[in-house]
Structure 1
Amino acid sequence: MPSRDFKRTDRVGAELRREISLLVHAAVRDHGLPSVSVSDVEVTRDLDWATVWVTALLPEQSATAVKALKELAIEFRRELSRSMRLRRVPELRFKYDESVDTGERIERLLREQAHDLSPKKDDNED
């Protein structure tokens, strides 16, 4: 029997990510929320819970965005039940994905370090 490359939770997570991305984009536009995007969706094995990881365009507005998305979670779940072919749509938990901010901070620090270590040209050498 051939092994499965993807588990059911992975397939459901990928489909949820696509659908929730559309719902979040519409919520940002309709409700005037800070600009956010869905970076990942992790689904529990029993498909009862889905953790939706979001990133914000402006990290200082992330708390506001996540709070608003948590308030809209019930509405999102209702929409997902209409658009997806699942017996039971998982409950949604929205969390802020700090990995992008951390990556940008590390990149900035590396650039600063490289700039500090670069050899300085002496302007009086001629």
Structure 2
Amino acid sequence: MNRPFTSNALGQCLAVIGLVLMLLLSNEAIAVAVPITQESPLNIPTSPAEIKQGEIRFYQNCAYCHGAKGIGGKSKKLQCRDFEGDYLFDTISNGLRRGSQFMPPWADTFSESERLELVAYILSLRTLETCL
């Protein structure tokens, strides 16, 4: 026997819709509070030669996990992503642990300028033709 739509069911539906709207609006408020652009105090290289050095270092040390040209593999892809230079420098320097995945810190392995070259190369991956 089919029961007509009761006010209790209607109240539950409205409560769920209200909860979803609250979550959406609260995320919107959070997104507005975060600055869109930040100026980096780092002196990230921009010359093709320094970016090329970062690419060489990337292939020697990072491609095993992040894939050739940052396409991903054991770890997340780096291509076509809108990273901040400060975030990349901090992650390369201090490492990162997410669940069972672990990226080692490279501060004791690479000089500051070498880590900045890596940052410059990774930032260049967001402008590949496949990203446009």
More strand by share: 1
Q: Give the structure-2-normalised TM-score.
A: 0.29
Q: Give the structure-1-normalised TM-score.
A: 0.30
